[in-house]
Structure 1
């Protein structure tokens, strides 16, 4: 079943002269793994790398899962099978975590050193813990930009990967933050005030354009019907850019432009999250979902969104 799908084979045959060769586990589909577990000549295997040990451990986990799946067919009539299977999966997860913790990760240690971090049990750190030494990290990244990707060492690749994750975090943070909108009433006091207002507005516009160039998750759908003559009329936006778009519309219009109803509903979600009250958060999310379901462009995608939400909760591969 699972062995066949993965191309996983155990070679335990006899040689022509009748001796028993060492069992060999290989993944034939991609040839990712080949390892002799036993040696009959008294010699030791070479020390395996952490990545190799992880692969070997995962191969054992796959074999364990194969055994469990085969047992399902004959054990489902037992009332305790469900809880036993759950306990078995829990034990397997704990073994995997324990093995991961015992393996040294020199690449991770290099990153920890740059940020001045002490090793932790699960190698997780708050963003605030990285800030004191962020300039040292940026200096490292500046050096890497002068190299081609195929010239990077493993450690440098780890730094590049870390930079991508931090850049994504920063993009998410700024795209769902209220932009610093200037007060329009200050623009009419003098020529200098109008120029200062215009300069500030252009700075915010440049910031918003940079945010949208990063393609942040867009959660605010357009309020109206798509216009074939306007290619971006069906464009969803992140919270910050959507706030700025409404602000600019009101600046350019002689009458007040009502904000997108999705924008109001999502603002309620953010307010509830800041207060940290779960019931209010759930109510705000439900209200937001109901609001965008009434918007024509979003309504067409709600079925797919609900399916994706269900699948993420089901999480068969988690």
Structure 2
């Protein structure tokens, strides 16, 4: 469902395909359009495509609240914000600037927790997925029962969403980042294993067989023939999945794993769109910064 790194490949030209291949491609496109049409028709028939009442008014109101992120109160917020009762009595007076500074401090802690969850969960997933990917790779000729078991584990891991893993793990290990780390790891493990196996299956087996012919052990074959050839793809996949998991971990707070998700849950439940805008800006900055860093790493290492 997710995690698709940009692994370099040679694009297929439509003009270079045979008539049979173009015919199959046309049938696949028609089938896809037919499925989409059926989905659209059935949703429309059941009334589930409704836009609700006054969608444009709601859109304008929400956009107006999003257009003033709450962090601007640090400079422009009133220092004597008064909350009054219906009869005009002043219930309390608040300093919006001090309140927003306190919120931003909590937001920074939440962003750091989210980064910790994504980083440790990604590292654990990479370690768990490697042996499964090696066993699942068809050209390494692992025993068939083990290969089938590895592929079944990887398929199951990818099929179960991170949030579902999180809900299960919160019940096992309790609230907190540990559940988030394990949820990220168990889902991403399937993606890592799949990419590992596919990268290994593109190898030129001549070099691998040459190392095997010298009497090398399986570990020596891996480190001397397999790993050097697939390492660039491994690094590219790892950086992409790590970046994706930073985004994914932001919602794990919705189920009690901590981080930015908890703040998002609080803001949406209280309809605090100005604070939600600030949180989303932090998410965008976090992902953008990591993307820029990962690009530099790929340029230097790959």
The structure whose Rg is larger is 1
Superposed pair shares fold, TM > 0.5: no
TM-score normalised over the length of structure 2: 0.25
- Higher relative contact order (CA closer than 8 Å, sequence separation 6+): 2
Bigger proportion of residues as helix: 2
